Structure 1
Amino acid sequence: MKKRRNTKKTIAQTTTEQNDIRYLFKQFLSIKTSEGNAERTLKQYQENFKFFCEYLNEKNRSFSIETMNTEIFRDWVMYMQFEHIQFKDIKTKTVKEVGLKPSTINTRIKTMKVMFNTLMRNRLVDSNPLLHIIKVNEPVELIEVLSEKKINALLAVMDKSSYTTFRDYVLTVFLLDTMLRVSEAVTLRKADLNKEVSLIIVRASVAKNRKARTVPVSKKVVKLLNQLIQENEYSFQSEYIFAVSEFNYYNRHNYNQRLKEYATLANLTKNVHPHLFRHTSATKWLENGGGLEELRLILGHSKYDMVKRYAHIADSSIVIASEKFSLTNFIKI
């Protein structure tokens, strides 16, 4: 006679799966997807959680949610600070760095906090073991900027007679002019550009904070965008201004790589990357007398914290102001 299926074992297996943090992460990801989180945010969640799972494997820890307490996450933070070896599987990297950057550690802590808060809100777990885990201290470094001389040198090596190089030239000038994030810029559509009033719309779907905003663009840059749109029409019809085909826009990683090549041609030793243009233009805005509130709106920041960092690095304007307004100018010494 055929034996009956062991129903108790099946139930036990199901319970084990549901108590597995990997299963709960899938639930969390599903919730965040349904809430409309940006694709890059979801990808970041996946990358950070994968790193946590690798830690559990390396330390032979259990994946059971019942073992996830404050102690294990404190150990994880300590591991990221003092034990994790970077590039250990890359043979070409002869020097192995130990420990992650504080900003990277804090991003990974944030992912796990968001995950547990979301699971609690949806009654999938009873508590958040990261409640008392605080961020590690991040040194506030000076933001690097490019001088006008170096910007001109970079633009000078971009051959505008070539379509792909001309597209890089226009994108670079556009980033310097609008201070957009590169992910916001490459997804710009023709419909987002209002040529009449020289404004562009950063759609909520591509904005980092998921909030649409309006950003001014100079008339001479609008002319460059028009030229690029006309060039595009010779090869393909696309709704994107920085297009690579009818349906695809320019890959920001490819652009970043090409910037490195241009920097080498221009004999620039500084690490040139798209975000450097945002830093440079924001700093120059304040140096030239632009307001903090207008800059905050253009950059798309909800708070002044990041915007104020640019105020601390405008060294040249501080020196000029000191010469003009210092008390020693008005007393006999």
Structure 2
Amino acid sequence: MNRRYIAERGAKKPSNDRQLHVDRNTTINEALDIFVRAKEAEGVRPGTVRNYRSVVRYLQDWLDNGSHFINDLTADMIREYINYLRNDRSLYEGDEIRQNNDKKLSVNTINIRIRTLRTMFKFLYNEGIIEANPMMNISQVKHDEHEEVPGLTDEQVDKILATYDDKQYAQWRDKTLVLLLLDSGLRINEALSLTEEQIDFRQLTLYVPSQIAKNRKQREIPLSREVAKRLRQLLDETQHYFGENSQVFMSAFGYDFTADAFRRRLNRLKSKLNLSRLHPHMFRHTFARNYILNGGDLFTLQRILDHAEINTTRKYVQMDNEHIRQQHNKFSPLRNIVKRNGIRI
């Protein structure tokens, strides 16, 4: 009789009791609903669920209809879809394009799609809903250079701010939002969810509760006096127009102002100013870069941005050649050497 060799006490008995209840008629939408229900039970946020559904919808658009069965998808089909995303896919409004502006999806965007599909298919395979995991050997897209998410130049910031008409409520609100993002580095959803209770106008701080923060950690963020003053004025106006329970940022019709609505307004502004790209997260990157350039330290910046890892914060601080030249002129050790030795140049 063959016996299994035991090398270590307490070793777990290998299990091959994966429960298979594969239904070959399970559609992609049905499988997605099962996955979403499981993730909602784990406590994932609504925004994450919307991302799951969007990524699967993009895949179904490529498949051309929603009637495909989940077990019909193969690794070869997934690779063909990735090649489509890399080379052929038409841009949707608000899509992030490659940095050289060649109207193709960025590698970062494609890899987000791949990671999401990998998570879903791993779950479906472990649950026995699919016979094989088509994402098992699918790698992320590689690229020669790290794709930087750029901030805005000082000139671009000035052009954007000069565009707004302070006499128009919606434009005054947008300008205040832009200034807040440039002053605090808030994520757009954190900024748009602000209420009066979250802002301390005396201490010049705002509070981001854990249920809103991406990393589920509450934090306080300092505010400049100028931005705090504008927030106070905007809050007074919104409460005057729409009632005392209004959030700081409201639409001109009295509804909560949404991130999608702000993105659409930025997209129109981008065309008006002939900018290659303009989206809310660029203000966060601009804040991070300028914070360091103005003498701030990386570890404090990590706390303000709510990053779990310092390497994430490093990626936010992208400097172009002009910034490097300015910093060199400001901090070059040669200046002290020349001054100390009385060298005339």
CA deviations over 1:98-150 (Å, ceiling 9, x no partner):
96432232111111111123335555457643232111014424443333344
What's the Cα RMSD here? 3.5
* 2:125 is the alignment partner of 1:117: no
* 2:141 is the alignment partner of 1:136: yes
1:287·1:314 contact (CA, 8 Å) conserved in 2? no
TM-score normalised to the size of structure 1?
Answer: 0.77
- 2:90 corresponds to: 86
Structure 2 CA distance for aligned equivalents of residues 201 and 276 of structure 1: 22
SS in 2 for 1:215: strand
1:167·1:228 contact (CA, 8 Å) conserved in 2? yes
2:23·2:129 contact (CA, 8 Å) conserved in 1? no
Q: For 2:35, which of 28, 39, 47 is the aligned residue?
A: 28
- 1:1-333 matches, cutoff 5 A: 15-18=23-26, 20-57=27-64, 63-65=69-71, 67-82=72-87, 84-86=88-90, 100-120=105-125, 122=127, 124-125=129-130, 128-138=133-143, 139-237=145-243, 238-244=245-251, 248-260=255-267, 267=273, 269=275, 271-313=277-319, 315-323=321-329, 324-325=331-332
1:184 Cα deviation from its structure 2 partner: 1.8
SS in 1 for 2:319: coil
Q: What residue identity is the alignment partner of 1:207?
A: A
Structure 2 CA distance for aligned equivalents of residues 15 and 260 of structure 1: 44
Identity among equivalent pairs (%): 26
Structure 1: gaps of 5 or more residues: 1-13, 89-96
Structure 1 CA distance for aligned equivalents of residues 206 and 130 of structure 2: 44
TM-score normalised to the size of structure 2?
Answer: 0.74
Q: How many residues align?
A: 306
1:176 Cα deviation from its structure 2 partner: 0.9
2:239·2:246 contact (CA, 8 Å) conserved in 1? no
- 1:8 corresponds to: none
Structure 2 CA distance for aligned equivalents of residues 69 and 48 of structure 1: 17
Q: What residue identity is the alignment partner of 2:117?
A: M
1:256·1:274 contact (CA, 8 Å) conserved in 2? yes
Quickly say closer, same or farther: Cα 1:220–1:120, change in 2 above 3 A: same
Quickly say closer, same or farther: Cα 1:182–1:87, change in 2 above 3 A: closer
Q: What residue identity is the alignment partner of 1:75?
A: E
1:223 Cα deviation from its structure 2 partner: 1.4
Quickly say closer, same or farther: Cα 1:102–1:321, change in 2 above 3 A: closer
Structure 1 CA distance for aligned equivalents of residues 166 and 77 of structure 2: 55
Quickly say closer, same or farther: Cα 1:204–1:54, change in 2 above 3 A: same
User: Greater CA deviation, 203-212 or 184-193?
Assistant: 203-212
Quickly say closer, same or farther: Cα 1:141–1:328, change in 2 above 3 A: farther
